[in-house]
Amino acid sequence: MPKDLQEVWDNCLSVIRDNVSPQSFKTWFEPIKPLKLVDNVLTIQVPSQFFYEWLEEHYITLLKKVIRKELGSEGRLEYSIIMENNFNSTRPYSIKIPTTDKKALANPSVNMPLDLGGSKSIKNPFIIPGLKKVNIDSNLKPNFTFENFVEGDCNRLARSAGYAVAKNPGGTSFNPLLIYSNVGLGKTHLVHAIGIEIKKNFPNKTVLYVPSEKFTSQFIDAVKNGSQNDFINFYQLVDVLIIDDVHFFAGKEKTQDVFFHIFNHLHQNGKQIILTSDKPPVELQGMEQRLLSRFKWGLSADLQVPELETRIAILEKKLYNDGIELPKDVIEYLAYSITTNIRELEGALISLIAQSSLNKKDITIDLAKKMIDKFVKNNAREVSIDYIQKVVCDYFDLPIELMKSKTRKREVVQARQIAMYFAKQYTKSSLATIGAHCGGKDHATVLHACKTVNNLMETDKRFKAYVEELEKKINI
C-alpha cells in the first residue's frame, strides 16, 4: 500500500474521529479500508451494500469535507463494495460506486454551510463588511424535524410550546423558550425542529443555531481580533437565535455579559430566543442573576425520560425513516433494555443493524440479546422496573398489561410479587415507585411482596428454582 494513500486516509480519520461519537466511529469507519489513490480519486472498501448506503445517508457531508481538505477541490471518493459471489469461486468480488454528488465534491462552495468558527478556509462572517442576513447559514440539521420527533407524555409540554413558537416566533409569551433535561432526551432535536418549522413558515426570517461552546469561542476570537462590535452586530441581525447548552456559560463572566446585551436587543425588538440547558434556571450555578432573571421571562419546559410506549414509538419511527423492518419482539427488547437515554437507544439500534450486516446474520431476538446486552453493559445500564417486568412476564407467559392490572388471580399475583422483589433488589426506585409500576400498589404492598418471596424461597424448592432462573435472565 503506497505510503501517501495510508497517510491521506489516516488524516481523514483523525478529522472524522473528532466529529462523530466513539461508537459511530468504531461501527462505521474502523471497518473501512483505503484501496488506492489515483488522480485525486480515493477508493475505499466497505463491507456491504447496506454499509455503503448508510455512509451515503448519514456521513456523506463529513466525508466530502475531509476529502476536500486532504485532496483539494478536485478530490473524489469512490467505494469498493464487497459482494457475495454466487458463482463457483468462493472468493468475494467488489464493485465500484462513485459518490452520489460529484458536483458538490468538485465545487467546495456547493452546499457548504457558513463556518461560524472563523476557520482558515472560510472567512469569519463577523469581519465581513456589509454582511447581509441572506448570507447567514442556519446550521440546522434537516433530519431533526417535528415529523421525526416522537411525542409522548414525557415531552408534550415542550413540543407544544415549541410548535406554538414556530407558528409565531417572537409573538408568544414563550420568549425566551428554555428547554431543559438530562443528556440524550431530545433537547437538540426539538430546537432544530422549531428552527426548521420557522424557516418553512417564514422563509425571510434569519434563524441561527449555535452551540454555547461555539458562541464562546467566537467571542474569544472577536476579543483577540478587536472585532467585538462586529460580533455583537452579527448576532443582532438574527431573527431567531437558538443557543444549545447555555449552562456552559457558567463561570464565563465576559461571555455572559455580551450575551446579556445581545439577549436584550433581540428581546426588545421582538426577536425569538430559544435556549437549552441541563437544568431549570433556578438550579443553574455560576450564572449572573440578571441573566437568570431573563431566562425566567418566558417558559421553561422539561423533557422527561420517555415511557415504554414512547421508546417503542421512537424506534419504530427511526426504522420507518430508514426503510428497515425488525421483528416486534426485538424492538420491544430494545425499548425494555435501555430506558434513560434516547441517544443510547438509537445507538444500540444502529449497532444491532451494523452487526447483522457485517456478520450477514438475520436480526433475531437471540442476536439482539447477545449484542444489546453487551452494549448496555458497556454503557453501565441500571436494570429498570420495565425490563424486570418484561423478563418475569415472558417467563410465566403473561401479558404485561395483566401484571399491571388489579386482578387477584394467583399466578398473576405471584408474578407481580416476584417483579416487585427484583425491582427492590436491582433498582434504585422507591417502594412507592415500584408499587406504582405494578398496578398502583402502595409501599406496604411492595414490602409484603418481598417478604412473601423470601419466605416461599425458603419453603418451596420449585418456587426457589423459578426465582433463581429469573435472576440469571435479569443479569444476563
Contacts of 371 (CB under 8 A, 6+ apart): 351, 352, 355
Distance CA 421, CA 401 (A): 18
The verdict on residue 113 lying in a domain is no
Beta bridge partners, 94, equal 82
Residue 220, CA distances (Å) to 117, 138, 223 in order: 11, 21, 5
Short-list 305, 304, 303, CA closest to 335: 305
Beta bridge partners, 82, equal 94
The verdict on residue 116 lying in a domain is no
Question: How is residue 357 written as a grid cell?
Answer: 450486516
Question: How is residue 121 written as a grid cell?
Answer: 478556509
Same domain, 336 and 200: no
Same domain, 27 and 74: yes
Query: Among 302, 324, 349, where does a domain finish?
Result: 302
Same domain, 329 and 298: no
What's the number of domains the chain is made of? 3
The verdict on residue 122 lying in a domain is no
Same domain, 273 and 408: no
Query: Among 91, 106, 121, where does a domain finish?
Result: 106
pLDDT of residue 227: 83
41: phi then psi, degrees, rounded to nearest 5: -110, 115
For residue 360, the one-letter residue type is K
For residue 222, the one-letter residue type is A
pLDDT single digits (tens) 267-312: 999 999 999 998 888 888 888 888 888 898 889 998 888 888 888 8
pLDDT of residue 209: 94
Residue 103, CA distances (Å) to 107, 109, 114, 154, 454 in order: 6, 10, 18, 43, 70
Same domain, 160 and 227: yes
Residue-wise burial string across 240-267, b where 16 or more C-beta atoms lie within 10 A, e elsewhere: bbbbbbbbbbeebeebbebbeebbeebb
Query: Among 258, 278, 302, where does a domain finish?
Result: 302
Is residue 402 classed exposed, middle or buried when 0-12, 13-18 and 19+ CB atoms within 10 A define those classes? middle
Q: What is the CATH number of the domain that holds 45?
A: 3.30.300.180
Same domain, 172 and 235: yes
pLDDT of residue 80: 83
Same domain, 380 and 248: no
Same domain, 330 and 438: yes
The verdict on residue 225 lying in a domain is yes
Q: What is the CATH number of the domain that holds 423?
A: 1.10.1750.10
The verdict on residue 86 lying in a domain is yes
pLDDT of residue 398: 87
The conformation of residue 29, written as its DSSP 8-state character, comes to T
Same domain, 231 and 93: no
Question: How is residue 194 written as a grid cell?
Answer: 422549531
Distance CA 44, CA 1 (A): 13
Q: Whole domain around residue 229: which residue ranges?
A: 136-302
Same domain, 290 and 317: no
The verdict on residue 335 lying in a domain is yes
Average pLDDT over the chain reads 80
The verdict on residue 131 lying in a domain is no
Short-list 360, 389, 362, CA closest to 473: 389
> Within 13 Å and on the Cβ side, how many CA atoms surround 170?
20
Q: What is the CATH number of the domain that holds 290?
A: 3.40.50.300
Residue 288, CA distances (Å) to 18, 63, 229, 363, 373 in order: 32, 41, 22, 52, 44
254: phi then psi, degrees, rounded to nearest 5: -65, -40
pLDDT of residue 127: 40
Distance CA 54, CA 79 (A): 12
In which order are the strands placed within the sheet that holds 41-46? 33-38, 41-46, 76-83, 93-98
Q: To 10 degrees, the CA torsion angle through 131, 135, 139, 140?
A: 130
The verdict on residue 54 lying in a domain is yes
Are 81 and 94 in contact by the 8 Å Cβ rule? The answer is yes
Same domain, 204 and 222: yes
Low-confidence spans in the chain with pLDDT less than 70: 1-3, 82-136, 372-383, 476
Q: Concatenated DSSP letters for 359-416?
A: HT----HHHHHHHHHHHHHHTTPPPPHHHHHHHHHHHHT--HHHHTS----HHHHHHH
Distance CA 216, CA 227 (A): 14
pLDDT of residue 196: 95
Residue 275, CA distances (Å) to 192, 238, 296 in order: 11, 15, 11
Same domain, 318 and 271: no
